[in-house]
Amino acid sequence: FVSSYLKNLATKLIMSRLLKVVKQSVRTAPTNIETLSTIRQFSQSKSDFSLPDLPYDYAALEPVLPARIMELHHSKHHATYVNNLNATLQKRQDALQKGDIAAVIGFDGAIKFNGGGHVNHSIFWTNLAPPNNGGGGSPSGALLNAINDKFGSLEKFQESFNGKTAGVQGSGWGWLVYCPQDKTIKIQTMPNQDPIGSLGVVPLLGIDVWEHAYYLKYENRRPDYLKDIWQVVNWKNVEQRYADACK
Amino acid sequence: MSNRFKLPALPFDKNALEKGGISSETIDYHYGKHHAGYVRKLNAADADGKVPQNASIEQLVLTANGKIFNLAAQIYNHTFYWESMAPKSKGCRGNVCKALENEFGSCQEFVAQFKARAGGHFGSGWVWLSLNKQRKLVITDGHDAFNPMRDGLIPILTIDIWEHAYYVDQRNNRGAYINNFISLINWERVEQRYNDAVNRLKSNL
């Protein structure tokens, strides 16, 4: 625990220093040689993405999501995406320095998969909250208006979302997204760990339908999992994401 | 109601693979709910008139698309998967063993490559050993209901790497499941399938 805290602190220090350098270089002279070489030096250091802490205990989402699912999901599945992302980025960096472009391109799949897994799960944990403390109920304000406009009602939205998400073949996610091009919200599913941001939309709410997300409690009954998950959806978080996207 | 498609019997008792790391509980879910569920859903689609008449499961795998392909292929794949395992594996043998040595250098090297494909596959899917039209043994993998017959290959061995295949027994540890599977491979059946495949290709010349 201490070593991961120190590692996180070190990463934060490096990143804040890097950010300062970048901001400085943009404010003053972007072609300042000393500044550019400093940036290059930082970007060559080991990429260090880290597993975010959950905003609640493993047991906090019971009875909907039992602790044994949450612990595996966070400390094993998500952690593995983070570790594999870091390892792949390091290998990619090594290949890039050797000028081995074929090898660099060869890492694209692993970066998309593990990086997507990291991004998706990081959003997911914030989209959920304990049933007695922020989870469930109904959205309000601008997001509720948008849902009613687009789908007719919250219930109709959930029915449509669940139908599409239950229909994902194999592993994937169901998403509520904001589409900046037509300024509307949409339901969109994605396969595997493909990051939905790559479609040019803003993710608001994601529900993981990989079997590991529900199997230990729901077995193959994905529709039952989708019926229950709404009891722990953190609408305040989704509203905030919507407000930020609309700016 | 239709019962045109049948759930094939398991080629072993549901606790036969326990010593090899696949529990009867997994079989209850995997065979009794997943595999049986695909059969039930294909029959329901048939009752709705959505399945071409007079087509066998194998023909549907080769020619159907979308939901019907998915259901038929998952039925076919799971049947093939059960037949790929046996409680007492007798090890790689016969003509297929020689062919694997020719193709991969050794049976161990084949196993290493097969394990790497199964471990490295992102998401749900299947990994297959098949014979191609040039009579070479090839390892292919694909997502979800992937079946190599669509690519003109003759399959002889498969492993299911959907999470439901291993989550009850191994949780997220796909590697441990793959190792167990390797020890359970029904090499007699693989040899039979290999010889049949070679004969089929010879008779097509």
pLDDT digits (tens, 9 = 90+) for B49-68: 999 999 999 999 999 999 99
Q: Could you tell me if A99 lies within 8 Å of chain B, comparing CB atoms?
A: no
Which residues between 130 and 159 in chain A have a beta carbon less than 8 angstroms from any beta carbon of chain B?
none
Q: Is the pLDDT of residue A34 over 80?
A: no
pLDDT at A15: 56
With an 8 Å Cβ cutoff, is A113 touching chain B?
yes
Question: So what's the pLDDT on residue A16?
Answer: 58
Nearest chain A residue to B25 by CA distance is A219
Report the candidate in B195, B125, B184 with the shortest Cα–Cα distance to residue B160. B125
As a whole number, the mean pLDDT across chain B is: 97
- Greater model confidence, A238 or A32: A238
Mean pLDDT score, A161-188: 97
pLDDT at A24 over 50: no
Helix (H) / strand (E) containing A93: helix A79-98
pLDDT surpasses 60 at A28: no
pLDDT the model gives residue A180:
96
Interface contact A224, partner B, CB < 8 A: no
CB B180 within 8 A of CB B21: yes
- Kindly report the three-state secondary structure assignment for every residue of chain B: CCCCCCCCCCCCCCCCCHHHCCCHHHHHHHHHHHHHHHHHHHHHHHHCCCCCCCCCHHHHHHHCCHHHHHHHHHHHHHHHHHHCECCCCCCCCHHHHHHHHHHHCCHHHHHHHHHHHHHHCCCCEEEEEEECCCCCEEEEEEECCCCHHHHCCEEEEEEECCHHHCHHHHCCCHHHHHHHHHHHECHHHHHHHHHHHHHHHHHCC
Confidence bin at A134 (pLDDT 50/70/90)? very high
For residues B180 and B199, the answer to whether their CB atoms sit within 8 Å is no
Q: How confident is the model at residue B1 (pLDDT cuts 50, 70, 90)?
A: confident
pLDDT at B66: 96
Going by pLDDT thresholds of 50, 70 and 90, the confidence category of residue A43 is: very low
Structure tokens at B189: 């059946």
- CA atoms within 13 A of residue A22's CA, in its CB half-sphere: 10
Contact (Cβ atoms closer than 8 angstroms) between residue A186 and residue A174: no
- Both tokens assigned to B161: 């790497």
With 60 as the cut, is the pLDDT of residue A45 above it?
no
* pLDDT value at A3 more than 90: no
Report the gap between the CA of A214 and the closest CA in chain B (Å): 10
- Contact list in A for residue B125 (CB cut-off 8 A) is 170
Structural contact between residues B137 and B130, judged by C-beta atoms closer than 8 angstroms:
yes
Residue B204: its pLDDT value, please? 81
DSSP single-letter state for residue A128: B
Mean of per-residue pLDDT scores for chain A:
88
**What residues of chain B have any CB closer than 8 angstroms to a CB in chain A?**
29, 33-34, 37, 70, 122-125, 143-145, 162-164, 167-168, 171-172
Tell me which residue in A113, A171, A219 faces B29 most closely, judged by beta carbons: A219
Extract the runs of DSSP E, i.e. beta strands, from chain A: 172-179, 184-191, 202-208
Question: pLDDT-based confidence at A31, cuts 50/70/90?
Answer: very low
Q: Does the distance separating the beta carbons of A170 and B162 come in below 8 Å?
A: yes
A234, pLDDT greater than 70: yes
What are the C-alpha distances in Å from A70 to residues A75, A76, A95, B128?
Answer: 8, 10, 36, 33
Tell me, yes or no, if A98 comes closer than 8 A to chain B by beta carbon.
no
How many CB atoms are closer than 10 A to CB B41?
17
Tell me the three state secondary structure of residue A117: helix
Give Cα separations from A183 to A180, A186, A245 (angstroms). 5, 10, 9
Report whether A180 contacts A245 (CB < 8 A): yes
Whole-Å CA distances, B68 to A142, B45, B53, B62, B71: 41, 8, 12, 11, 5
Determine, for residues A80 and B125 on separate chains, whether the beta-carbon distance falls below 8 Å.
Answer: no
- Total residues belonging to chain A: 247
What does the pLDDT read at residue B37? 97
Phi, psi angles (nearest 5°) of residue A79: -60, -40
Contact (Cβ atoms closer than 8 angstroms) between residue A82 and residue A111: no
pLDDT (tens digit per residue) in A104-130: 999 999 999 999 999 999 999 999 999
The residues, any chain, with a CB within 8 Å of residue A198's CB and separated by 6 or more, are none
Among residues B159, B165, B143, the alpha carbon closest in space to that of B30 is found at: B165
Task: Write down the pLDDT at residue B202.
Answer: 92
Asked whether residue A46 carries a pLDDT value surpassing 60, the answer given is: no
- pLDDT tens figures, B98-123: 999 999 999 999 999 999 999 999 99
Q: Which residues of A touch B164 (CB under 8 A)?
A: 211, 215, 220
For residue A192, the distance in angstroms to the closest alpha carbon of chain B comes to 5
* pLDDT of A40 above 50: no
Chain A nearest-CA distance from B77, in A, is 14
Q: Amino acid letter at B24?
A: S
Q: Are A220 and B33 inside 8 Å of each other by CB?
A: yes
Whether residue A181 is predicted with pLDDT greater than 70 in this model: the reply is yes
Contact list in B for residue A189 (CB cut-off 8 A) is none
Residue A41 has pLDDT above 90, yes or no: no
A171 touches chain B (CB under 8 A): yes
In angstroms, the CA B75 to CA A6 distance is 51
More confident residue, B193 or A1: B193
pLDDT single digits (tens) B144-154: 999 999 999 99
Which residues are CB-neighbours of B153 under 8 A, at least 6 positions away?
B128, B130, B131, B132, B138, B140
A72 → closest Cβ in B70, B143, B171? B171
Test B163 with A169 for CB contact under 8 angstroms. no
pLDDT of A83-107, one tens digit each?
999 999 999 999 999 999 999 999 9
Interchain pair A170, B125: CB under 8 A: yes
Distance from CA of A76 to the nearest CA of B (A): 7
What are the pLDDT digits (tens) for B20-48? Answer: 999 999 999 999 999 999 999 999 999 99
Q: How far is A199 from chain B (nearest CA, A)?
A: 20
> Looking at beta carbons, which residues of chain A come within 8 Å of B37?
220
Question: What's this model's pTM, rounded to 2 decimal places?
Answer: 0.87
Q: Which two tokens stand for residue A138?
A: 């109904």
The Cβ of residue A64 has, within 10 Å, a number of other Cβ atoms equal to 20
